[in-house]
Amino acid sequence: MTDPLFLAAFGDDVGPGDLITVTGDEGHHAVSVKRIVPGETVILANGEGLGVRAEVLSAERRELDVRVLDVLPAPTPPIAWGVVQALAKGDRSELAVQMATEVGAREILAWQAARSIVRWQGERRDKALDKWRATAREAAKQSRRFLVPGVVAVSTAEVAEAIRAVDVALILHEDAPQHIADVDLPEEGTGLLIVGPEGGISPEELDRFVEAGATMVAISDGVLRTSTAAAVALGQLDVLVRRP
């Protein structure tokens, strides 16, 4: 079984023999919840794409002291995908964030679309963003990913700007004229997936995103939930970029 992963603060210059101390909530989780003891090995990640395998030297209360054994750079995908995720009701937004993180999203943009039932305002917006970020953090740990995707709130205008800034942008839409498998993907670069709310992306939003350079694609012969669409698409894209 893979060693458990915890998040810790360390730089790119870390190397074998270096000592790292894990404190705070992560230290408490390692010592009091996971019951890590001296002599065990763990994986630490800095949340920015770098991990290490380390031997536990001491485990006391909320603090874990380890010695680095190996440096484990994260795999670099040919295309780094971000996800524009429309706000959804209930826990569907958190499920979308969790699944997208598990399958490799590098960034998640929380989008309040015209047809989003949920509305983020004031203090509610801040609390919801914190919840999305905590979900991404836990999903990265569970899936043994060294990168915790950044989570920010964006407007429709900012989504259009994000589309212009990447090499390829795909709008997931059940009425798209082509399947995602038929898209001409770049060999490398940056990409963006746009997922609408339960009520769908409005015609005005679609026009704006297409004008900015995005392409509408289908990922199924049915209509997927907003909570699962990004994960399905990311899984398909991973296969597409790996095939000869």
pLDDT in tens, 231-244: 999 999 998 887 76
Residues 33 and 110 in one domain: no
In this model, does residue 209 exceed pLDDT 70?
yes
Q: How much is the mean pLDDT over the chain? A: 92
Residues 153 and 232 in one domain: yes
Q: How many CB atoms lie within 10 A of CB 33?
A: 9
Contacts of 197 (CB under 8 A, 6+ apart): 86, 87, 88, 113, 115, 116, 117, 226
Share of the chain above pLDDT 70, in %: 99
Residues 98 and 218 in one domain: yes
Residues 135 and 201 in one domain: yes
Give the pLDDT confidence of 126-181 residue by residue, as tens digits.
899 999 999 999 999 999 999 999 999 999 999 999 999 999 999 999 889 999 99
Q: How far apart are CA 125 and CA 121, in angstroms?
A: 5
DSSP lists the bridge partners of residue 151 as: 108
Residues 101 and 66 in one domain: no
DSSP lists the bridge partners of residue 22 as: 64
State the angle between helix axes of 122-142 and 92-102 in degrees (0 to 180), rounded to the nearest 10.
40
Residues 97 and 157 in one domain: yes
pLDDT at position 107, please?
96
pLDDT at position 90, please?
79
**Neighbouring C-alpha atoms within 13 Å toward the C-beta of 109:** 23
63-73/50-60 β-pairing: antiparallel
Share of the chain above pLDDT 90, in %: 71
HEC string of 35-89? CCCCCCEEEEECEECEEEEEEEEEEECCEEEEEEEEEEECCCCCEEEEEEEECCC
Rg (CA), the chain: 20
More confident of the two residues 154 and 61: 154
Residues 56 and 125 in one domain: no
Mean pLDDT of 30-47: 92
Residues 69 and 103 in one domain: no
Residues 135 and 38 in one domain: no
How many separate domains does the chain show?
A: 2
CA-based end-to-end distance of the chain: 31
Residues 98 and 209 in one domain: yes
Amino acid at 90: G
Token pair listed for 224: 């997927």
Residues 18 and 89 in one domain: no
Greatest alpha-carbon span in the chain:
59
pLDDT at position 1, please?
54
Contact 170, 215 (CB under 8 A): yes
CA proximity to 151, closest of 107, 195, 116: 107
pLDDT at position 61, please?
80
SS3 percent helix, strand, coil of the chain, rounded to 5, is 30, 30, 40
Q: What is the dihedral of CA 98, 36, 43, 138, to 10 degrees?
A: 10
